[in-house]
A and B are shown apart, each in its own frame.
Chain A
Amino acid sequence: MKLPVICSEKECCCGKKECTPGKGLPKIILIGNPNVGKSSLFNALSGSYTLVSNYPGTSVEITHGKARIGEREYEIIDTPGMYSLLPVSEEERVSQLLLFEEKASVYLHVIDARNLRRMLSFTLQLLEAELPLILVLNMMDEAEERGIEINISELSRSLGIPVIGTVSSEGKGIEELKAAISEFTLENNAQKFRQKMDYGSKIEPYIEAVEGLLEPSEEAEISTGISRRAISLLMHQEDRTAFEYLRRAEKTPGYWDERHEKNSEEIRKLVKAASKISEVPLSYLFTLKRQEHVNGIVEQVMEMPERSENKSSENAGKIRAEDDTGKNGSKIQSINLAFPEKIDSILIHPVLGIPALFLILYFGLYLFVGVFAAGTVVDYLENTVFGGYINPFVTAKFISLVPYPALQDLFVGEYGIFTQAVTYAIALILPIVGAFFLVFSIIEDTGYLPRLGLLLDSMFKKIGLSGRAVIPMVLGFGCSTMATMVTRTLETKRERLIANILLALAIPCSAQLGIILSILSRNPESLLIWSVVILLEFVLIGFLASRVLPGEAPTFILEMPPLRKPKLSNILVKTYSRMHWYFLEVLPLFVLASVLIWIGRLTGLFAFALKIIEYPTVWIGLPPDAADVFLFGFFRRDFGAAGLYGMHDSGLLTGVQLVVAAITLTLFMPCIAQFMMTIKERGFKTALAISGFIFPFAFLTGFIVNTILKALGVSL
């Protein structure tokens, strides 16, 4: 599911899950490469909050917000990062489609100032598309740190559009940007936004011919914000969306009048012919031509410090420090860069990287989430605050006020809405999820995740995934549903499917993981058995899936953002926003479960369902009473884990039974929301097949583990 945009104005989306403030207002669309600070800028402009993290692929969906700039209100739209107008991965396509379908008053192309040379090419594409554009040079602070100087007014002159420098994470330059937006929309696009790029005499005639043929008749219904020249260029690069546009044009009566009925046929012919006469694929030709143009501009406007030839990752900072001693003040800055370099080289070191990972897991996950939050805090909340004070008080009050046993049962009974659903959600799930997301946000904001991807790539290849898949996998520990959506950033269908299966099967989500850590941490051997079994399962199923599923092996390309110091404010807001979302996600389901159980108990269906689940429960060596844990687990596996916590508290299970139950539950499908997301991303059949595989398989694994532990005579 989608994280809520946290609005400063409460009235716009109170209680609703999807928040689309500002519908119908003039639009501002943010575009740019991944990880350049679009979402930070969105937050700074709109006063709302959408996720900001230090890795490419944080935003995989479009986010809407509302902004007041000058006298006017705007709808402001944040998009997933895209590298060029021609998309390669799915989340880029989301943004491309938006550009085709929406017409905004202003487009902000956000780039990372340091990487002007690399990103300006996309600016040129957007200008070719004739979008009303403002160029935002974000991360000016990092550019300065590296001694890069950019002549902004010169750049603005040579592009013919406003250019504004910002540091969006600090709010610097935002006022200037707002002023530019106001002025820009007032001018009402008086100037033509056009950078005429020449792609060479051989190919230009084809581009122009297609452009001409695309011209619709006067009263054509469909339209797009993108120029016909840009569409023509995209067609010559065999872009799906551009051809989709053509198909729509064909189907739209009156797009062309009768005289031009043959246009679309003609276009296809031209595109084929153009690709024949060019020795290189046209997308490369276009890219290189644009880059030439960019290099010309960059030479005029950007100055970089001289760089040392033999630079290594370890002493890059040092070398620069020596080089720069002549310049005032830059020495200190260069040394500042040397320290992150050191840490960086440890984090991605083939040998040292592994202990570094375990240290992070041990302190962040085990000690803070498992022992402190899921142990100490939950213990206190569950047993003292709720168990000792709140629940007895509420129960007594309720019983004295409402004299009907059936209703008493619904609200304050054993499975009651208050005594079970609300208590679980607040006393158990919330602290664990909060602690987890806190640690997680810190890790995300430093930029560790792409480094982990680099570190684990070769291992992930064995299970049919690339290092890029590390990001959704790690996100899965937070919430499987979010992570399932992030599988969009993976390149091939096969990789997305394998990642999806593994997420649904072997990656426990934060709440469940926290509970299991806390239950099992009292006995390190249990924890070890649990971890080993889950890890084996992950590797085994990944390995088998990569053998069975057709398709090419994945490849790995990932941009490595610099290590950044996390900002406290971002961490807190992000943690809060995720907790908020998680709570709204689980509470209704927990309440629903209470109600269903209540109905089930009144009608006898509950007992019936329990009877059925008793079979596999007993089969894997658990007492029949444990059946309700698994019944809960069908709703959500963290709900099942919460049930397990209850059973464990009352000392109903032996050590071996506890491990077996924990393993089985971990392997369950995460929750209904994740199932729905799988349907959305992979289709209904696949989703059904995945869950049809997972439940029996979870019990089978439980059975095998129980049998082995019994046979070995292990007692925990």
Chain B
Amino acid sequence: MVTGNSHLSMKTITLCAMETRKTGKIDRLETKNPGILQKLMAMGILPGMPITLLRKSPSYLFEVDQTRYAVDREIANHIYVSC
């Protein structure tokens, strides 16, 4: 588990639970698979970064900083967002 600055006043939900077109801040990444975590971090999906969910289907599409990423539900479930 990797935590950024937690915002106690805000709620923390997974990317899956987020509404599309909403912006939040990545709170933490939670996964047991070190490969996935490593990949997410290397790609710049890091705690503290602002994140905007653009789409939930056919897969999850979101924007972090200036880049868009497509991920599946499995991965989206590991990304916790505070908003």
Contact = CB atoms under 8 A, between A and B. Distances in A.
A454 B54 contact: no
Interface string B15-48: 0000011110000000001111111111110111
Nearest to B3: A280
A348 interface: yes
Given A118-B44, A280-B1, A556-B75, A467 B68 contact: no
Contacts of B61: 313, 348, 454, 560
A146 B39 CA distance: 27
Given A457-B70, A559-B67, A560-B68, A115 B44 contact: yes
Indicate the size class of the contact surface on chain B: 35 or more
Given A283-B41, A313-B61, A557 B67 contact: no
Contacts of B68: 559-560, 562
Contact of B23 (A83, A309, A458): A309
Interface in B45-83: 46-48, 52, 54-55, 57-59, 61, 63-72, 74-75
A115 B21 contact: no
Nearest to B48: A291
Contacts of A458: 58-59, 72
B53 to A, nearest CB: 10
A545 interface: no
Nearest to A451: B70
A12 interface: no
A491 to B, nearest CB: 7
A443 to B, nearest CB: 18
Given A114-B66, A557-B43, A283 B58 contact: no
A195 B5 CA distance: 25
B43 A559 contact: yes
Contact of B59 (A86, A88, A89, A454): A454
B2 interface: yes
Contacts, number: 126
Nearest to A354: B58
Nearest to B56: A350
A636 to B, nearest CB: 35
A313 B36 CA distance: 26
Nearest to B40: A557
B59 A555 contact: no
Contacts of A148: 66
B65 A284 contact: no
Nearest to B4: A288
A115 B45 CA distance: 12
A83 B43 contact: yes
Contacts of A291: 46, 48
Interface residues of A, number: 46
Given A280-B2, A557-B71, A313 B54 contact: yes
A48 interface: no
Contact of B65 (A88, A115, A450, A467): A115
A119 to B, nearest CB: 7
Nearest to A557: B71
Nearest to B66: A114
Contacts of B46: 287-288, 291
A310 B58 contact: no
Interface string A270-292: 00000000001101100110010
A558 B69 contact: yes
Contact of A288 (B2, B43, B44, B70): B2
Contacts of A89: 39
Nearest to B45: A557
Interface in A79-101: 83-84, 86, 88-89
B66 A312 contact: no
B38 A119 contact: no
Given A88-B42, A560-B70, A118 B58 contact: no
A313 B55 contact: yes
Interface of A: 83-84, 86, 88-89, 114-115, 117-119, 121, 146, 148, 280-281, 283-284, 287-288, 291, 309-313, 348, 350, 353, 450, 453-458, 461, 466-467, 491, 555-560, 562
Given A115-B66, A557-B71, 14 more contacts: A83-B42, A86-B42, A88-B39, A114-B67, A118-B65, A288-B47, A310-B21, A311-B52, A313-B61, A455-B59, A457-B59, A555-B71, A557-B70, A560-B69
Interface of B: 1-2, 4, 20-23, 33-44, 46-48, 52, 54-55, 57-59, 61, 63-72, 74-75
18 contacts: A117-B66, A118-B64, A281-B34, A283-B34, A288-B4, A288-B47, A291-B46, A309-B23, A454-B61, A457-B59, A461-B72, A466-B72, A555-B71, A556-B72, A557-B70, A559-B68, A560-B68, A560-B70
